[in-house]
Copies of this chain bind each other. A is one copy, B any other.
């Protein structure tokens, strides 16, 4: 397990994820700034963003650094860790832990475009010279 792996049981929900995304893209933002990014698309109010930020801080997914009278929020959980965790959960749950099965499924259901296949092929070559 690498240091960036998220081991804290607390799961990040879908709504919270939107907030995390904004902060992964640009850390050290205020609640208002985050809202500017996410409130529009999701139809949220600033209050909602504040709640989500608080919950994320509680969960240990965000750090809040005081900056005058407000806070700057920064992810403590790396995007990689989260994405990795979620991916592994899915593979575990739906494919009995076999990542290859997932890839096979994507391929069979034509979820993989020709470009995807190219990329994957290149990846494979890179992984095993």
Tell me which of B91, B98, B124, B128 contacts A124 (CB under 8 A).
Answer: B124
Interface positions, chain A 14-59, Cβ under 8 Å from B, are 14, 17
Contact of B94 with A107 in the complex, beta carbons under 8 Å:
no
- Closest residue of B by beta carbon distance from A126: B107
**A21–B115 alpha-carbon span in the complex (Å):** 33
Contacts A87-B90, A87-B102, A104-B123 supplied; 20 other A-B pairs, CB < 8 Å:
A80-B105, A83-B95, A86-B90, A86-B94, A87-B111, A88-B111, A98-B116, A99-B111, A99-B112, A99-B113, A99-B116, A100-B119, A103-B116, A103-B120, A104-B119, A107-B123, A117-B124, A117-B128, A120-B120, A124-B124
